[in-house]
Structure 1
Amino acid sequence: MNLVQPIRDKETLQEIKKFLKETNERNYILFLLGIYTGLRISDILLLRVRDVEGWNIFIKEKKTGKPRDIKMPSELKKAIRNYIKGKPKDEFLIKSREGKNKPITRGMAYVILNQIADEFGLERIGTHSLRKTYGYQHYKQFNDVVSLQKLLNHSDPKETLVYIGIEQDSMNDQQRKIRW
């Protein structure tokens, strides 16, 4: 099974943000929403301008039906504030160029992320990589698997560690260090 991976390197994350900010504002916002909120791509694509006007994003998750109340970090809020200026409240945030007011498809989000992966030499990147990146970076910063488990709506801390690639990192480190 070919699992997608988080983006582990903070410097690479900064380079991607800079690249997207300079080349495509919509894709920049898509990327920021993924790495700063941990939302699934299906939830990000359903966001409208009215959903991000305040400091919080309040949604009902499409997959679980559970409510989420997410406080936006200042970098995300500032970028969104500039992005939505003058846009109608009912407009989709990650709007497709096709049709009047439709979000991009999950398939298009995958294409965008794979173009980024190609540009930055990343492997095993998909739409879930943004959510996994959020989880991985959150864990590395706070080392609090229980809070992260709740944020990602996982049922078990072990599931969370496998999901964000921490368990794999640990096994890889052990494998690398083995001596006979």
Structure 2
Amino acid sequence: MVSPIRDIKQLELLKMYLREKSKRDNLMFMVGISSALRISDILKLKVKDIWDGKMPKDFIYLHEEKTGKYKRFPITDNLEKAIIDYMKEYNPKQESYLFFSRNGNGNKPISRQQAAYILSSAADFVGIKEPISTHSMRKTWGYWAYKRGHSLALIMEALNHSSIGMTKKYLGITQEDLDGVYREMNL
């Protein structure tokens, strides 16, 4: 079972490493931790989904592959910076896949396996000990939404889960998280 990235310093190190290593890989990670999307939906994105030809769009719209549900999410400031860096580096055509395979001239995305390898290698490089894969991006979004005080009901909705119980299990809430609640309450 893969984990969310619970340590904010490790999260920032991973972002910094990916930003320096590859603008494509960095953008993939930024979309993942900014959207709560599954990797199958991330890899289907095309340039036209995030870029209007001159600047980043305000929102990304799609239908999730697994659920068939419509999803819209805003492009955050950090995600916008990653998009601009990506566009400056690659200047791709509007119809190209964002996360293009270097073998396909923008006509096909990288594989799920390649995306998993990119993330797990980067996590190893920055010293993250927990198992990290593509699903960690989605779990990281949920975990940090929870840590920042957003309701489990909203997080459940964003993740398209069918119950709050499923969302709690998915977030991997630890005893340390619960201890923090008790300490913070300090009534």
- Superposed, 1:55-74 pairs within 5 Å as 55-74=58-77
Does 2:35 align with 1:29?
A: no
- Superposed, 1:66-145 pairs within 5 Å as 66-85=69-88, 86-100=91-105, 101-122=107-128, 123-145=130-152
Give the structure-1-normalised TM-score.
Answer: 0.89
C-alpha deviations, 1:101-132, integer Å up to 9, x for none?
A: 11000000111111012112222111101100
Q: CA deviation at 1:43?
A: 0.4
Confirm or deny: 8 A CA contact 2:41 2:64 kept in the other structure: yes
Give the structure-2-normalised TM-score.
Answer: 0.86
Distance 1:155 1:38 in 2: 15
Q: Secondary structure at the match of 2:148?
A: helix
Q: Secondary structure at the match of 1:69?
A: strand
1:48 maps to a residue whose letter is K
The alignment yields a C-alpha RMSD, in angstroms, of 1.6
Identity of aligned residues (%): 41
Q: Give structure 1 stretches of 5+ with no counterpart.
A: 175-180
- Superposed, 1:163-178 pairs within 5 Å as 163-166=170-173, 169-170=174-175
Distance 2:21 2:85 in 1: 15
Q: CA deviation at 1:99?
A: 1.8
Distance 2:177 2:94 in 1: 47
Distance verdict in 2 for CA 1:172–1:10, change over 3 Å: closer
Q: Secondary structure at the match of 1:130?
A: helix
- Superposed, 1:8-19 pairs within 5 Å as 8-19=6-17
Distance 1:138 1:27 in 2: 23
Runs of 4+ in 1 over 3 A off after TM superposition: 171-174
Q: CA deviation at 1:82?
A: 3.3
Distance 2:153 2:177 in 1: 23
Would you say how many aligned residue pairs link Structure 1 and Structure 2?
170
Q: CA deviation at 1:25?
A: 0.8
Distance 1:48 1:108 in 2: 18
2:92 maps to a residue whose letter is K
